[in-house]
Amino acid sequence: MKRAKIFDKEKFDWALDSALNALYRQDEETFMKRVTDMELSSEMNEKNILYMFALSAYTTSLTSSFIYGGHK
């Protein structure tokens, strides 16, 4: 994934936090609205933003699996 320029860092950070909260609540509609907010406040497109979330979830899963014994 290429490095993207953030135009409005405050809005991007707020949208990211809100998107993570929506994921935790399994609120798909709010999550996708926040992805759109992230898209508008940066050079990233929707595909790259969703890829960022998937990559983060994957690496977090690998780390927790290793720490909690999934590496056996």
Residue 48 forms part of a structural domain: yes
Residue 44 forms part of a structural domain: yes
Confidence of residue 70 (pLDDT cuts 50, 70, 90): low
Residue 1 forms part of a structural domain: no
CA–CA separation, 50 and 35 (whole Å): 8
CA dist list (Å): 52 to 35, 68, 70: 11, 24, 24
Question: What is 2-18 written as a DSSP string?
Answer: ----BS-HHHHHHHHHH
Residue 66 forms part of a structural domain: yes
Residue 28 forms part of a structural domain: no
Q: What is the pLDDT of residue 6?
A: 85
The contacts found for 50-59 with CB under 8 angstroms, 24 or more apart, are 51/1, 52/1, 53/19, 53/23, 55/1
Instruction: Give the tens place of pLDDT for each residue, 1-55.
Output: 567 788 899 999 999 999 999 999 999 999 999 999 999 999 999 999 999 999 8
Residue 62 forms part of a structural domain: yes
Query: pTM of the full predicted structure?
Result: 0.75
Domain total in the chain: 1
Task: List the domain range (segments joined by +) for residue 62.
Answer: 35-72
